[in-house]
Structure 1
Amino acid sequence: MSDLFAGLHADAYDRVYGNRRLLARILRQLRAHRAGMVGSALLVAGSVLLTASVPIVVSRLIDQAGGGSGPGLLLCLFVVAAAVLAWAMNWARQAITARLVGGMVYQLQSEAADAALAKDVAFYDENSVGKVLSRVTGDTEGFGSVLTLTLNLISQLFLVVLLGGVVFWIDPGLGLVIVAALPFLLGTALAFRRVARTAASATRRVMAKVNANVHETMLGIAVAKNFGREQAVYGDFDEVNRLSYRVYVRQGLIYAVILPVLTLLAGLATAVVLYQGGRFAVLGRLSAGEWYFALQALGMLWQPVTQAASFWSLFQQGLAAAERVFALIDSDHAVVQSGNAPVTALSGAVEARGLHFRYGSGATVFRDFDVRLAPRETVAVVGHTGGGKSTLAKLIARAYDFQGGELLVDGRDIRGLDLLAYRRRVGVVPQHPFIFAGTLAENIAYGRPGADRADVVRAVERIGHRVWDRSMPMSLDDPLAAGGQGVSVGQRQLIALARMFVREPDILLLDEPTASVDPLTERGIQDALSRLCADRTVLVIAHRLSTIRRADRVLVLHGGEIAEQGGFGELLRRDGPFAALYATYYAHQESA
C-alpha cells in the first residue's frame, strides 16, 4: 500500500490532528447549531421510544393469544399509531439534520474560502490552486456526508441502549449473551481504523491531484493546442486518473472486507442467542412473547451495532476530509505583520536597508540590499532575468515577507502597518492582467470597492478616448469571459490601467504594460501612463526604451545588487552595465 500511495505526498502546510483534537474542534463548531441539535435529540428520543414500544406491545399480544384470549384492539391500534408517529418524528429529525449539516458545511466552506483568500501570493506560488479548491469544495462536502451518517447513527445507538436495557430486564442471562458479542464486533472495526484512515487520506489527496490537473490543463488549453500537445496533456491526465483508479479500488477493497466480517460475527451471535433463548423458553424462564421480543430486539440491535462498527471506517473519511480543511484554515501566513498601524495617504517614499530575501529554501535573491525611491519619483528597473526586478516589486507590494533588514514606506517599517489598508494605497499592474467574468465596466471598477459608473467613465476619459475607442470596440456593458478569452493583450493592459485610474494609488508598481503591444497602441498607453504616473511614486520593470526614457531614474539590477543607477543619458555616457544592456536589448528599438 505504501508503494501505491507514494506519489500522494502531503502538501507543505498539511498537519496531523489526533482524533480527540479533531472531534473537539468539530463539537465546538456544532455549538452554533445548538437549537437544532436539541430539537433533533428530542425527536430522536421520541421516535426511539415509539419504535422500541412496538415489539414490546407485540410480545404482549402474543402472550395474550397464547393464554387463550384474543389480541386487544387498543394494543393493535397503539402499534399502528406508534409506527405512524415514529415515522413522522423520524422525518422531522431528518429535515432538521439536513439543515444542521447544510449549515455546518456552509460554515466550514466559508472559513476555508476565507482562509484561502487570506493567503498571500507566496502561498499560491508554492501550492496548486486546484488542490486548494479541492479542500474548499470537495473535502467540506465529504465531511458533510459523513456528518449526516453520524447523526443518523446516533439515533440508532439510542435504540440499541433502550432495547438492550429491556432485554436485560426480561432476562439478564440473555442480555449478557448479547453484550458478550459486542467486543468482538467493535474490536474488529477498530482493527481497521488505522488502515481505513490511511486509505481515506490518500483518497482525498488523489482527488485533489485530479482536480489540480484538470484545473491547470483547462487554464493552459490554448497553449496545448497551439503546440499540438493535446495527446501529451491527455497522457498526463490519464496517469493521474489511473492512480486515482488504483487508490479508489484499494479503498473499496478495504471497506468491502469489514462489513462481511461483521455480518459473519453478528450471524454467529444470533445463532447463540436463538439457541439460548429457545432453551430458556423450554425451561419456562421466557414466555413465547418474551422470546419473540428477544429475537425482534436482536434483529433491531445487530443492524445499528454492525453499522456502528463498520461506520468507523467511513468515519475516517470524514475525519480525513476535516483534517485537510482545518490544515488549510490553520496554515501559517507567508506575510506576518508585527503591527497594525493605520495607513491613510502616503507620500510614497520607499527605502530598503540591508534587505535580505530568498524564496523558501532557494538561493538568496537580495543580501544587504539598499535602495531608495523618493516621493513621486518614477524609477525604471532593468537587468537580466533573475536579477531581482520582479522580486523588488513584490516585496514593496507586501506579497512576500523578507528574512532580514528593513523596508520602510514614509519612514515606517512596512511590517508594522495595517496590511489591508497599505495594500489599498499600492497599485500593481502585472504584465498579463487577469480579466474576471462580468461586464467591462465591472472589470474596471474592480480597482476600488464601491466604485460607481461615474468613476469608470472618468477612468476611461483619463486614458483618452482616442486610444480607448480605437483599441476597445465594445461598450462598457459588454460581458467579458473569465480569464479574458477574446480580449487582446493590449486591451487587457488598457483595462488594467483603467483600474489604476479608479484606484488612485500612492505607490504604483508596473511590470512593463507596453511590452507585448503594437507600436500604435504603445504610444497611446504611454500617454495614459504619463498621466497615471504623475504625482505618485512609480517603480516600473522596463522592457521598452520609451519607458526608460520617461523615467526619472534607471536602476540596473544584477544578481540582486544595484550594478548602476542614474538618468538615461548619464548611464549611456558612463559606458557601463546599462550601456551594455542598451546595446544588447534596447538599441534596436530606436528605429522601431
Structure 2
Amino acid sequence: MGFLMDGLAAEAYDRSYSDRALIRRIWRYFRPHSGRVALVALMVVLGSLVATVIPITISRSIELLTGDPAAQVLIGLAAIIAVMGALGWFFNFVRQTFSARAVGDVVLALREDAYRAVLQRDMSFYDQYASGRIVSRVTSDTQDFATVVTLTIDLLSQLLLVVIIAVVMVTINWQLALITLATGPIVIAAALTFRHVARLTTRQAQRALANVNASIQETVSGIAVAKSFRQEAAIYQQFRQTNELAFQVRLRQGLVFSSIFPILNLLSGIAIATIIYFGGRLALGGSVSVGEWYLFVQSLAIYFFPLTSIASFWSQFQQGLSASERVFALIDAEPKVVQIGNEPAPHLIGRIEFRDVWFTYDTGQDRTAGSPSSASVQWVLPGFSLVIPAGQKLAVVGHTGAGKSSLIKLITRFYEFQAGQLLIDGRDIRALDLAQYRRQIGLVPQSPFLFSGTVADNIRYGRPEATMADVETAARRLGSEWIADLPHGLETDVGERGARLSLGQRQLVALARVLLQNPSIFILDEATASIDPFTETQVQEGLDVVMQGRTSIIIAHRLSTVRTADRIIVLKQGRIIEEGNHDDLLASGGHYAELYNTYFRHQSLDYKPWEEESRELSAKNLGSQAFRPHAG
C-alpha cells in the first residue's frame, strides 16, 4: 500500500488533534445555538421513548390475544400504535429541521473562519502551498464537517434508545438481558479497532481530493500556456494519474468502512440466535409469557441496530473529525509575518530605512540566524542597509536574482525578515497597524491581476467609496486615448482575470487603481516591462504626476523610468555595489554601465545601431592589422 501514500504527505502546517480537543472545539461553534440544540435533544428523547413504546404495545396486544379481548381493546391498542407512529414521525421531523438549521449555521461560521484565515495568511504561505489544496479545505472539508455533526446527533439518539431498551429488557428477564448486554462491549471493541485505520484512510482520501482540486485549478488557470505548447495530452495524462490515485485511496477507504458491517452483523446475528434459543425455552417452560418473549426478541432488534449503527458511525465519525482537523489546522496555521505592535499609521511621510537586514526565503530560519557565520543559509539580503528619504524617486536595477523584488516584498510586509530593522518614518515596520500601513502603499506588479467586473470596478477596488468622477479622473491622468479604445469605456467588462483586455490595458487599469488610492509610498515592480512604447509614453506621463512628492521605488527594465530617477542603486547578490544618478553611473563605467549597454541602450532615442556596427567593424580591422606580420 506504500504507493498509495505517494503525493499524499501532510502539509507543513498540518497538526494532529485529539478527539476530545476536536469535539470541545466543535461545541464552541454550537454554543450560540444552544437553544436549538436543546430542542433537538428533547426531540431525540421523545423519539426514543416513542420507539420503545411501540414494541411494548405490540407485546401487550399479543398477550391479550391469548385470552378473549374485546374489539374496543384491540382498536384502542391499534390507535395507540398509530398515534405513536405519527408522534415518532413528528418528533423526527422537528429534530431533522432544527438540527439541519443548526448544522448549516455552524458550517457557515466555520467556512467563514476558514476563509478569513486564508485572507490572513502571508504571501509566503501561498508560495509554499498549492491554492487548489487550500480551496479544498475551505469547501470540501467544511462540508464534510457537517457530516460529523449530523452523525453526532444521530449517535446521541441511538445511544439513548440503547439505554431505554436495556432497561426494558432487564425488567422482562434479567438473565437474558445480561446475555444481551454482554455482547455490547464486544461490538463496540470491534468498532474501536477500526478507529485509527479509519482516521488514516479518511485523511489520505481528503488529501487525494485536494490534489485533484489543485490539478484542475492549475490546469484551468494555465490553459492558454498549455494550448500554446500543445500539452493538452500531457496534462490529461497527469490528471489521470492524480485521479487514479484518488480513486485507489477512496476505494481503500470504502473497503475499510464496509468491512465493519459484516463483522458487526455476524456478532449481532450470533447474539440474537442465542437469545432466541434460550428465550424460547424459557417461554415453553412458562418462565416468561409469549408476549414478553416477543417483546424481548423485538427489543433485541431495536438494541442491536443502534449498537451496530453506533459502531459504524464511529468509523464514519472519523471522516468528519479528520475534515474538521484539516480545517482547524488551516485556521491555526502560525503566520510568518508577526506584528509586535499595533501603532496607528493614518498618514506616512514615506522615509524608508533598512538597517542591517538579513532575509532568506528559507522559512526554517529564525531571526537569530542572521549572522555572517550562517554559511549554510542562502541569504537573499545579507546584512542589507539603505536609506530612502521621503519623496525620493529611487530606481533599483540589477540582474535577475539580485534581490530587487525582495526589497519590495519586505517593504509591503508580505514576507518576514530574519534579522535587522526596517523603519518607516523612524518606526519599526513590525510595530505598525498593518492594515493602515498597507493603505499607504501603492503597488503595481509586473503581471497585473484584475477581478471580474468592469474597468471602473477594478479601479475603485482600493477605494470602494470613490465616486465615478473620482474613478474617471484617476483613469484620465494616464491619458484619454486608452479609455476611448475600450468598447464601453470605463464600464467595459474585463472578464476573468482581465482576459478581455490587452496586457497594456490591464496594466493601465492597475496603475489607475493605485492612482485613485493616493498612497504615500509608490512602488512599481517592472510595471512597464510588458507595455509597448506608445502605451509606455502614456503611462510615463501619468507616473511623473503621481510620483511628484511621493516616495517612489522603481524596479524597471525601461530606460525612461530609470534615467529620470533621483537616485539609482545597483544590486548584486543582495548588496549595493553602485549608486548615483544616471549620468554619473554611466560615466563611471561600472556595473550600471554594463547593464545600460546590455539592456537599456537600445531604448535610447540617441541609439544608432549602424554606428555601433561601424565601431565594432573598425575594432576588428585594427585588431587584425595589429597581429599582421611585417614584410622583410
Counterpart residue identity of residue 538, structure 2: G
CA contact (8 A) 2:504 2:530 kept: yes
2:434 maps to what in 1? 419
2:523 maps to what in 1? 509
1:313 maps to what in 2? 315
1:169 aligns with 2:171: yes
From 370, 373, 380, give the equivalent of 2:388.
Answer: 373
Deviation, 1:59, is: 0.9
1:12 maps to what in 2? 12
2:263 maps to what in 1? 261
1:574 aligns with 2:588: yes
TM-score by length of 1: 0.98
Change in Cα spacing, 1:3 to 1:466, as seen in structure 2 (3 Å) is closer
1:548 maps to what in 2? 562
1:475 aligns with 2:477: no
1:451 aligns with 2:466: yes
1:30 aligns with 2:30: yes
Partner Cα distance (2:105, 2:495) in 1: 32
Partner Cα distance (1:561, 1:246) in 2: 51
1:359-384 deviation line (CA, Å, top 9, x unaligned): 02562101111001111111111000
Secondary structure in 2 matching 1:563? strand
Of 226-235 and 108-117, more deviation after overlay is shown by 226-235
Counterpart residue identity of residue 589, structure 1: Q
Partner Cα distance (1:494, 1:211) in 2: 33
CA contact (8 A) 2:522 2:547 kept: yes
From 573, 576, 584, give the equivalent of 1:562.
Answer: 576
1:530 aligns with 2:544: yes
Partner Cα distance (1:224, 1:431) in 2: 21
Q: Percent identity?
A: 46
In structure 2, list runs of 5 or more residues that go unmatched: 365-376, 608-632
1:324-349 deviation line (CA, Å, top 9, x unaligned): 00000000112100000000111100
1:222 maps to what in 2? 224
Counterpart residue identity of residue 580, structure 2: G
1:428-474 deviation line (CA, Å, top 9, x unaligned): 1101111111111111100224223222122123222134324x343
Partner Cα distance (1:461, 1:304) in 2: 71
1:122-173 deviation line (CA, Å, top 9, x unaligned): 1101111111000000000011123212212321221111111111111111
CA contact (8 A) 2:461 2:513 kept: yes
Partner Cα distance (2:148, 2:339) in 1: 38
Partner Cα distance (2:445, 2:421) in 1: 25
CA contact (8 A) 2:451 2:496 kept: yes
Aligned-residue Cα RMSD (Å) equals: 1.3
Partner Cα distance (2:255, 2:44) in 1: 34
Secondary structure in 1 matching 2:489? coil
Secondary structure in 2 matching 1:92? helix
Secondary structure in 1 matching 2:579? strand
Partner Cα distance (2:252, 2:597) in 1: 62
Partner Cα distance (1:24, 1:156) in 2: 21
Of 22-31 and 423-432, more deviation after overlay is shown by 22-31
Deviation, 1:68, is: 2.7
Counterpart residue identity of residue 36, structure 2: G
Deviation, 1:251, is: 1.0
1:181 maps to what in 2? 183
Deviation, 1:583, is: 1.1
Partner Cα distance (1:12, 1:386) in 2: 26
Counterpart residue identity of residue 144, structure 2: G
Give the 5 Å matches for 1:112-511.
Answer: 112-360=114-362, 361=364, 363-470=378-485, 472-511=486-525
Q: Which runs of 4+ in 1 moved over 3 A?
A: none
Partner Cα distance (1:467, 1:173) in 2: 91
Deviation, 1:586, is: 1.0
Alignment: residue pair count: 591
Counterpart residue identity of residue 206, structure 1: A
Partner Cα distance (1:5, 1:113) in 2: 28
Secondary structure in 2 matching 1:158? helix
Counterpart residue identity of residue 322, structure 2: A
- Computing the radius of gyration over CA atoms, which structure comes out larger, 1 or 2? 2
Of 488-497 and 150-159, more deviation after overlay is shown by 150-159
Partner Cα distance (2:467, 2:42) in 1: 52
Partner Cα distance (1:43, 1:467) in 2: 66
Of 536-545 and 17-26, more deviation after overlay is shown by 17-26
2:49 maps to what in 1? 49
Give the 5 Å matches for 1:83-102.
Answer: 83-102=85-104
Of 23-32 and 213-222, more deviation after overlay is shown by 23-32
Secondary structure in 2 matching 1:398? coil
Partner Cα distance (2:506, 2:482) in 1: 13
Partner Cα distance (1:438, 1:277) in 2: 74
1:50-81 deviation line (CA, Å, top 9, x unaligned): 22111111111111111232444322211111
Deviation, 1:240, is: 0.7
Deviation, 1:45, is: 1.2
Of 333-342 and 75-84, more deviation after overlay is shown by 75-84
Deviation, 1:220, is: 0.5
Partner Cα distance (1:300, 1:364) in 2: 68
Partner Cα distance (1:223, 1:532) in 2: 35
